[in-house]
Structure 1
């Protein structure tokens, strides 16, 4: 499987999912996409409708992807992934 195929599979498996429901391997895959996604024209967003001001402040101070994920896991958060140039997103 080449890199583009792997990225497509990761997008299919992760986009639209609840962050709290991801297993450890899926969280590692998500971190990979967050770090290296731009190389493959992939944009990853974590969407939460109920972030308090305190949570927003903690996110602003988070110094790593791991720290951000720990904060987002405390509220209902959906993984959104868009592959730019593909003309579609899965949510």
Structure 2
């Protein structure tokens, strides 16, 4: 009876060790190196000046000939002193 109990204990310990080793090997095998990839940042440069009639015509002709995939329109207005003060207060 003591031999059967000792055999059962050894068998159980062996099974536990085997499962721990297997889990460790699987865990090491599935671990991957995770690195952060830096996405490129799109930058937009905005410059403003009044266009002459010739510049407007040339721009319109250029835009008509181009295949435009993205158009960004920016509309601006001059702020009053009160609006400027409100922005500074924010």
TM-score (norm. length: structure 2): 0.24
Larger Rg: 2
Bigger fraction of residues in strand: 1
Specify which structure has the bigger relative contact order, considering alpha-carbon pairs within 8 angstroms and separated by 6 or more residues: 1
